[in-house]
Amino acid sequence: MESTTVLIAFGLTVVAGLSTGIGSAMALLCKRTNTRFLSAALGFSAGVMIYVSFVEILGKARESLIEIWGVRTGNWLTLAAFFSGILLIAVIDRLVPNVENPHEVHRVEEIKTDSPKRREDPRLMRMGLMTALAIAIHNFPEGIATFTSALSD
């Protein structure tokens, strides 16, 4: 293994990690909610995730299932897994109460809070810290996967 390959893999991993930090900094440093930018950013990130899911993950899952089960059964299992995932997400969306469901926010005014009391709420602070911890825990294995996949390519 060449040192340049390792450096490229490490560089890609660092850029991916810094992207999370830059995105977080943008959210923290903005004084007001720019709905046009937020809509465009969320649309872009959703498009990236859908692209990765359909082009990369679904294809590799199909290949693996065909390798194990054969062409006919592997294709059917891929199709069943795809629609089972859609069904699972629909069930989860139904089970989450409306108060907790982030998809129910229709206007920016519903998410704005200018109250200093609300900003210093310990429960809100704890939720923010737990969210940051969950993102960090999620990104650690993702960084390892990025590094190893860059090494193999």
For the chain, the first-to-last Cα distance in angstroms comes to 12
Distances (CA, A) of 149 to 38, 78, 83, 142: 31, 23, 27, 10
| Per-residue model confidence (pLDDT) at position 106 | 58
Quick: pLDDT tens for 81-136: 999 999 998 998 888 776 656 555 556 655 555 555 655 678 777 888 888 888 88
- Looking at 27-36, 73-82, 108-117, which range is the least confident one? 108-117
Residue 41: is its pLDDT beyond 90?
no
| Per-residue model confidence (pLDDT) at position 115 | 58
Distances (CA, A) of 18 to 87, 94, 119, 142: 34, 35, 27, 13
| Per-residue model confidence (pLDDT) at position 23 | 79
- What value, to the nearest 5°, has the Cα angle with vertex 123 and ends 121 and 125? 70
Dihedral Cα 80, 83, 87, 92, nearest 10 deg: 100
Cα(128)–Cα(37) distance, rounded to whole angstroms? 22
Cα(12)–Cα(132) distance, rounded to whole angstroms? 22
Q: pTM of the full predicted structure?
A: 0.56
